[in-house]
Structure 1
Amino acid sequence: MLHMTKVAVGCSSVEILRDRITARATNGTTTIHTRYRPTRAAEMVGGSLYWIIAHRLIARQTILGFEEGENGHCLIRVDARVVPVRARPKRAHQGWRYLKADDAPQDFDGSDADVAAMPKAMVDELSALSLI
């Protein structure tokens, strides 16, 4: 499975990203506009688009497909559900980049007992440092 990364421009937190996606969602899906269609688009259907916020991979959305947009641009059709992941450092870049399945961070479901017992401020700080 192949994934992709993209910077969440203008978003300083996963909550802001989630609000932005939810506002544009229709029937549980939304589209992300990008200039160029990935040459390996067929390999990414069913994979995820991983969002970069503050130089960290922080959340993902499932890629449902690719469509042609206006002026030759590409629309990435994604599930509207934003899934937090275990933060991992990732330098910002323009456009999108491929991400191999082995390099993708695991989902952060918050079910770890140790993490659940920590104060939210501590979890936020440790997450910002990519330690959890």
Structure 2
Amino acid sequence: MIHMIKLCVGIASVEELESYRDERAHWWDADYGEDVHVHRTRMMPKRRAEMEGVSSIYWVIAGAVACRQPILRLAPYTNAEGKNYCDIIMAPTLVRTVPYPKRPFQGWRYLRPEDAPPDLEAGANENSAELAAELARMGLI
């Protein structure tokens, strides 16, 4: 199993990502059902078979890994001009993680399970996430 990590460009918080996650599929004329979140990226992972149905995409928001979404499947998509893409079809559930600082990078990267930040405990709120982010910046978690 291998995860994926990606910058969530143009998003300032987990709440902002939650507010429009359902709209993305409609922006790209992709119809994978009502209860999914779709993100289109340029490259199809070569390790696709290791990811579908068992991995997550970890979102980097405002310089830190902030949450993850389970990856249901990866679907090839070709636009009208013949350009190939990969649609990442995810469960709509956003699982907050212990914030982990991450520098900007292009595209997406693989993330080994042992390098993935742990989930925040159930019931954690914005204050717990901010406290965890500060502790991570200090190198204490």
Q: Tell me which interval the TM-score lies in, with the shorter structure as reference length.
A: 0.7 to 0.9
Q: Please show how residues 20-59 of structure 1 align to structure 2 within 5 Å.
A: 20-24=20-24, 26-45=33-52, 46-59=54-67
Q: What is the aligned partner in structure 2 of residue 76 from structure 1?
A: 88
Q: Provide structure 1 residue ranges, at least 5 long, that are not aligned to the other structure.
A: none
Counterpart residue identity of residue 100, structure 2: R
RMSD: 2.0
CA contact (8 A) 2:99 2:129 kept: no
Shift of 1:54: 1.4
Task: Kindly provide the CA deviation profile for residues 50-93 of structure 1, in whole angstroms up to 9, marking residues without a partner as x.
Answer: 00011111000001111111220111111111111111111121
Cα shift at 1:35: 0.4
CA separation in 2, counterparts of 1:54 and 1:22? 21
Counterpart amino acid of 1:63? I
Work out the number of aligned pairs and report it.
125
CA contact (8 A) 2:73 2:89 kept: yes
Kindly tell me: are residues 77 and 33 of structure 1, through their superposed partners in 2, closer, same or farther at Cα, counting changes over 3 Å? same
Equivalent residue for 1:96?
Answer: 108
Quick one: distance in 2 between partners of 1:30 and 1:124? 23
Q: Structure 1 vs Structure 2: percent identity of aligned residues?
A: 39
Contact kept? 2:24, 2:39, Cα under 8 Å: no
The Cα offsets for residues 72-125 of structure 1, whole Å up to 9 and x where unpaired, read as 0111111111111111111121110000001111111344xxx77xxx65x354
2:30 corresponds in structure 1 to: none
1:14-62 deviation digits (Å, cap 9, x = unpaired):
1001112133474321211000101111111110000001111100000
When normalised by structure 1's length, the TM-score is 0.83
Instruction: Return 5+ residue gaps in structure 2 as ranges.
Output: 26-32
Equivalent-residue separation in structure 2 for 1:98 and 1:42 (angstroms): 13
Counterpart amino acid of residue 126 in structure 1? L
SS at match of 1:39: coil
Residue 126 in 1 paired to residue 134 in 2? no
Query: Equivalents in 1 of 2:130, 2:21: separation in Å?
Result: 25
